[in-house]
Amino acid sequence: MTFEQTALFAIFAAVFALLLWGRYRYDIVAFSALMVAVVMGLIPTKDAFAGFGHPATLVVALVLIVSAGLVRSGAVFLITRTLVDSSRSLGGHIALMGGIGAVLSAFMNNVAALALLMPVDIQTARKAGRAPGLSLMPLSFATILGGMATLIGTPPNIIIASIRQETLGEPFGMFDFAPVGGIAAIAGLIFVALVGWRLIPQRDTGAGNSEAQLADYIAELTVPEGSELIGKRLGAFDKEAEQADIAILGLIRDGKRRYGRAAGSLLKAGDALVIEATPEALDEFRTALKLDFADAARQEKLTAAGEGLELIEVVVPETARINGRSAQSLGLAWRQNTVLLGLSRQGRRMTDHIRQSEIEAGDILLLLCPRDHGADVTEWLGCLPLAERGLAVTANDKTWAAIGLFALAVLAASLGLIYLPVALGLVVVAYVLTKILPVAEIYDHVEWPVVVLLGSMIPLGAALDASGGTALIATALIDLTQGLPSWMVLTVLMVVTMTLSDVLNNTATAIVAAPVGIQMANTLGVSPDPFLMAVAVAASAAFLTPIGHKNNTLVLGPGGYHFGDYWRIGLPLEILVIAVSIPSILLFWPL
C-alpha cells in the first residue's frame, strides 16, 4: 500500500472507532478527521470544503426545510386525523401507521416523518390501553424502509446518486430506487405488521407517559364567519374531538357560558368552544375544524404583520404582573400583541372567558405571540418560562399550497425539467414568500451536525477513492467471493454494508461502500448499477441496534426499549430485506 492509502485507512479506522465509542459527537469526529487529512496533504487545500457545497449536502439540508414546511402547513394532519383509530387491532394499527410513515418518508426526511408521527402513535397507544413500545419500534422501522423508495427519502440514496453522477456521468432519478427499495419496503412493512411486533419483549414501562403528563389547558376556539360548522350541533364533533384527544367542555355565546356541554346547540358565527387539551392537541383540533383562536381579530393582525407566530408556556409566580388580574384587564393583547390561548390550573376548571379569568399564582399560561418576542412578553408579565417544547402554530390555510408546491417540484425533477437541488430550493423560497414557513425558522430545521458530517466525509471518501483505497477493498471482497455466482457477490456486499450501517452513521457507510461497489463491478466487468442499488438498500437497513439510525435512537426512550431488543425484530427483517432485494436488483438492474 502507498503512504496515502495507509494514512487514509488509518484515519477511517480512527473515525469508525471514535464513532463506535460514542464519546464525541459524529460531526466533530468527521470534521476533525477532515482537518487532519488536509494538514497531512491527503486532501488538497482547495478541495477541503468542497463537501459543504456538494449537491448531496444541499439536498439533505433543503429536504429538512421542506419537511418543516409540510408539517407547519398541516399537510400531515390531513392524513393522521382521518385514518388513525385507537379501536383498531395492534397489527392493523401498525400496518396503517407504518404505511403512512413509509409514504411520508419517501418524500420527506425520515427522521422528520417519525418525529411527526411518534406523538400520534403514543397518543393512540394510551387511548387503546397498551404499551407504546409495541408499536414505536415497528413505526421507526417503517419510516426507515419508506425512505429507500425515492431519491430524497434518505441521505444514502442522495449520496449514491451523486457518486453515480461523478463516476458515470448521470445520477439516479427520483424514482429509480422505487423498484428495489419499494419492494423491500413493502416486504418489511408486511413483516413488522404481521410478525415483527410479536417479537418485541413486553415489559411494564412508563414509556410514553410524557405525553400524558403534559399540562392540559382550558382554552377557547371560535367559529369564524362563513365556517362550514355553522348550523351544525356541537355534539356532532365528538369524533374529531376524540381523534385529537381533546375534551369539549361547553360553549360561550354572546359573552355567556352555556353550562354543560350544550351538545344540542346549533353553532353560530362567533361562538366559542371551551375545550381541555394539550397545546399540540389544541392546534390539531383547531386545524381539523378550521376554527379561529379566541381573539381572532388580534390573531389576524399578528399574522398579517408577517413576523410569524409562536406558542410559549409560562408559569405565574406570586410576583407576576398578571397575578390577580385577567389578560383583558391587563391589556395583554394591545400592549404586547399577545393572545392568551389557554390556562392550566390544577384541579379546577374555569367558568369565565379565558381572557376574563383572574390569573392566580401557579397557573400555567399558553400564549400566542409574535415570533422571537416570547422572552420579552414573559419578562413583561413577570412570569417564568417553561422548558422549550418546540410548540408551533399550524398554518392550516396554506395546506394545499404547501402540498402543491412540493408536488410540482418533485414532478419537475422526476421529468428532468429541473435539477433536484434547484427544485427543492425553489420550494423553500416559495414557502418563505407565501409565509408557509417563517423566514426566522428556516435554519432552525437544518440538522447542522448531519451537514457537517456530510461536508467532512465526502472529501475523505473522494480521497480514499482517488488513492486507490476503495479498489483495494473491492479486490479483497472479489477475492473473498471468487468463483461465486453474481447474486452471492451482491449478498456479501449487502451484508458487509449492513454490518457497517448497524454500528455507524448510514451516510458515512454509503460514502465508503458506494465506491467499493463500483470498483467491484469494474473488476468483474459488469454494470455498477446493481452494486450501487445493493449499497443503497443495505446502508439504510440499520435495524439491529438503536445507534444504527437516528429513528431507532428516537424511540429508545419513549418505547422503554433496551439495547438488545432491536435485534430480535431487526435480524429477521435484515435477512428478509436481503432476500427480496437481491432478486429485485437482478431483475430491474441486470448485470
Q: What is the DSSP string of 196-243?
A: GGGGSPP----TTHHHHHSPPEEEEEEPPTT-TTTTSBGGGGHHHHHH
Residue 112 belongs to some domain of the structure: yes
Amino acid in the structure at residue 330:
L
Residue 437 belongs to some domain of the structure: no
Instruction: Return the ∠ at Cα 565 (arms to 559 and 569), rounded to 5°.
Output: 100
In sign, the C-alpha dihedral spanning 550, 556, 559, 564 is: positive
Q: Are residues 193 and 153 in the same domain?
A: yes
Q: Are residues 242 and 300 in the same domain?
A: no
C-alpha 363/C-alpha 365 separation (Å) is 6
C-alpha 341/C-alpha 322 separation (Å) is 15
402: CB partners within 8 A, 6+ apart:
69, 70, 72, 73, 75, 431, 436
Q: Are residues 199 and 237 in the same domain?
A: no
Q: Are residues 308 and 264 in the same domain?
A: no
pLDDT at 212: 38
- Per-residue pLDDT in tens (0 to 9) along the chain, 591 residues: 789 989 998 998 898 788 777 788 878 988 999 999 999 999 999 999 988 988 878 877 887 788 778 777 777 666 666 666 767 888 999 999 999 999 989 988 777 778 667 767 877 787 778 888 899 899 999 999 999 999 988 889 998 998 898 888 888 988 999 999 999 999 999 999 999 889 988 765 444 444 434 457 788 888 888 888 898 888 788 777 777 778 787 788 877 766 555 667 788 888 888 888 877 777 778 877 888 876 655 555 555 554 567 788 888 887 788 988 988 888 888 888 888 888 887 645 555 577 788 888 878 888 888 877 888 888 899 887 765 555 566 666 788 888 899 889 888 887 878 888 898 899 999 999 988 888 877 887 787 887 888 788 888 888 887 888 877 887 888 888 887 888 898 999 999 999 888 866 678 788 888 988 998 888 888 899 999 999 999 999 989 877 677 788 767 767 888 877 888 999 999 999 999 999 999 999 988
Of 532, 533, 538, 480, nearest in space to 509 by CA: 538
Cα 565 to chain centroid distance, Å, stands at 23
42: CB partners within 8 A, 6+ apart:
4, 7, 8, 11, 463, 467
Question: What is the model's pTM?
Answer: 0.65
100: CB partners within 8 A, 6+ apart:
79, 80, 83, 117
* C-alpha cell at position 533: 442499488
C-alpha 476/C-alpha 479 separation (Å) is 5
Of 289, 308, 343, the one marking the end of a domain is 289
**End-to-end alpha carbon distance in the chain:** 30
The DSSP code sequence of 146-204 is HGGGSTTSSHHHHHHHHHHHHHHS----TTTTIIIIIHHHHHHHHHHHHTGGGGSPP--
Residue 521 belongs to some domain of the structure: yes
Domain of 258, in residue numbers: 215-289
Of 236, 262, 289, the one marking the end of a domain is 289
CB distance 504 to 52 below 8 Å: no
Q: Are residues 282 and 305 in the same domain?
A: no
Of 267, 289, 311, the one marking the end of a domain is 289
pLDDT at 314: 84
C-alpha 244/C-alpha 84 separation (Å) is 10
C-alpha 274/C-alpha 342 separation (Å) is 10
Residue 421 belongs to some domain of the structure: no
412: CB partners within 8 A, 6+ apart:
418, 423
Residue 436 belongs to some domain of the structure: no
> In total, how many domains does the chain have?
3
* Structural element, H or E, at residue 539: helix 529-540
* C-alpha cell at position 28: 466533530
Residue 403 belongs to some domain of the structure: no
* C-alpha cell at position 120: 400520534
Q: Are residues 193 and 340 in the same domain?
A: no
Residue 64 belongs to some domain of the structure: yes
CATH of the domain at 274: 3.30.70.1450
Residue 423 belongs to some domain of the structure: no
* C-alpha cell at position 67: 419537511
- What are the φ/ψ torsions at residue 230 (nearest 5 degrees)? -60, 130
Q: Are residues 127 and 9 in the same domain?
A: yes
Q: Are residues 133 and 267 in the same domain?
A: no
* Residue entry with cell 390555510: 397
Q: Are residues 284 and 299 in the same domain?
A: no
Q: Are residues 364 and 507 in the same domain?
A: no
* Structural element, H or E, at residue 385: strand 384-385
